[in-house]
Amino acid sequence: MHPRVFIITGAMASGKSTVATALAKRFDRSAYVEGDAFLRMMVNGKAVMGPVLDAEALAQLSLRHQLATDAVRRFAHSGFTVVYEDILIGSHLLSAIERLSDLAPRVVVLAPSIEALQERDRARSKTGYSEKFPPNVLAEALVRETPRIGTWLDTSEMSAEDVVTIILKTDPADNPL
């Protein structure tokens, strides 16, 4: 059987990590590739990721995405179902899909309300938003810049298990790229 590849994206605090982990646990042989892991590997010289990215931040973001998709590919070629989650907006999502096109990735976009993003960010230990970088910046960029491909879900009132159930019930034919 051809390994399955899922790409889970959305704004910070949209539930990507929680959903990706829960989805990966549904398969006997699976891997969870977390985009942030590649960011954390940078020790010194890490660019600031915020609402406006300078040339160095964009280069590091591109490197992060390339490393992640390389890992996805290696796991998939080793027979693992792979769930890759990261903030992939607009051209970044399209580039990831293109790099993984031979693996026919299923794209899932988590798009809860701005209020839900604020509430979830306040409730977690690793807050990412601030007065200078409110949740609407990423949420609006996601909607404005990202083509309507894959499965888009307003997860404002959904549990991670509800989201996983919908993902697994969605026919790949309904998830055109």
Confidence of residue 94 (pLDDT cuts 50, 70, 90): very high
Task: Tell me how many domains the chain contains.
Answer: 1
**Is residue 154's pLDDT more than 60?**
yes
Bridge partner residues of 22 (DSSP): none
- pLDDT in the model for residue 175: 52
- pLDDT in the model for residue 128: 75
CATH of the domain at 152: 3.40.50.300
Contact 84, 6 (CB under 8 A): yes
Mean pLDDT of 72-87: 97
Range of the domain at 25: 5-174
- pLDDT in the model for residue 47: 86
